[in-house]
Structure 1
Amino acid sequence: MEYIRLTRHFTFETAHALLNYNGPCKNIHGHSYKLQVTIVGKPIADTTDPKYGMVIDFGDLKKLVQEHIVSPLDHALILREDTDPALINVLQQLNHKLVLTPYQPTCEHMLIDFKNKLTQHLPQTIKLHSLRLWETENSFAEWFAADNN
């Protein structure tokens, strides 16, 4: 059986700020992110399997990405965990959806985080091929498995 790549697109709204950055992105601001997830695998060959002929059901891929990436980040504010504790405290007291990360929340670091989360939850027969994350209409970052072997 041949290997096949499947791709699914996702969108989410997220704000972030880059701690100690020397430009305008040091301020809290938001993006309409677009995420493209591409997996690779062989279609299921067992004719008795209800998912016969599929690498993965697109609905299953959607559920996995929604659960581990989109839902936690959609309409959230991502800050480094070493951001001023007073700011974090105020945001938490006001019940803002806050995601604290050990990394600077750049597009590049977010992709590495997404890769780590997805590879933990994909079925063993499926490999993550690539990720593409648009931060703006004209700017995106990519992660490819082939670049990291």
Structure 2
Amino acid sequence: MFRVTEEVRFCYGHRLLDYEGPCARIHGHNARVEIELSSPTLDRKGFVADFFDIEKAGKDWILAQFDHRLILREDDPVIPFLKQAGEAFVTLPVNPSAENFAKLIFDHLRGHGVPVTAVSFYETDTAVATYDER
């Protein structure tokens, strides 16, 4: 099996609702995302996939959506205050956890025809969540 991985790094802020602990407060991370594609064969160019295509569908979208953004669950009670202050933020229907980020990115790539097999979302250098098709 051949496997290729494209890496994306970005900064974001978030907080987790329904959670007791420090991550219930707004805070930030330097995230690293690994997008993995696998294939038993290579195409005529000798590729599993062109890294440029992975970057266009994955990295460009991730950076446009999440880089240097505050990511909140859509029912976060701080949202009205952010709106009133004119602050930018992004909402998700789920908590912005590493697990949910991994699945969200996986689903986006699959929806755009990228034959992704796994997405690993590193919230920190030592904390990683992976979503794959297994």
Equivalents in 1 of 2:87, 2:50: separation in Å? 34
User: Does residue 1:118 correspond to 2:109, yes or no?
Assistant: yes
CA contact (8 A) 1:108 1:141 kept: yes
Q: Which runs of 5+ in 2 are unaligned?
A: none
Query: What is the CA–CA distance in structure 2 between the aligned matches of 1:97 and 1:9, rounded to whole Å?
Result: 26
Name the SS for the 1:137 alignment partner: coil
2:81 pairs with 1:90: yes
* TM-score normalised by structure 1 residue count: 0.80
Match of 1:103 in 2: 94
Q: How does 1:53-92 map to 2 (within 5 A)?
A: 53-84=46-77, 87-92=78-83
What is the Cα deviation at residue 68 of structure 1? 2.5
RMSD: 1.7
Measure how far apart 1:143 and its partner are.
1.6
Larger radius of gyration: 1
Q: Which residue of 2 aligns with 1:6?
A: 4
2:129 is equivalent to residue 141 of structure 1: yes
2:11·2:67 contact (CA, 8 Å) conserved in 1? yes
- Is the 1:68–1:118 contact (alpha carbons within 8 Å) kept by the matching residues of 2? no
Q: Hey, what does 1:18 align to over in structure 2?
A: 16
Counterparts in 2 of 1:67 and 1:93: CA distance versus 1, 3 Å = farther
Unaligned stretches of 5+ in structure 1?
Answer: 46-51
What is the aligned length? 133
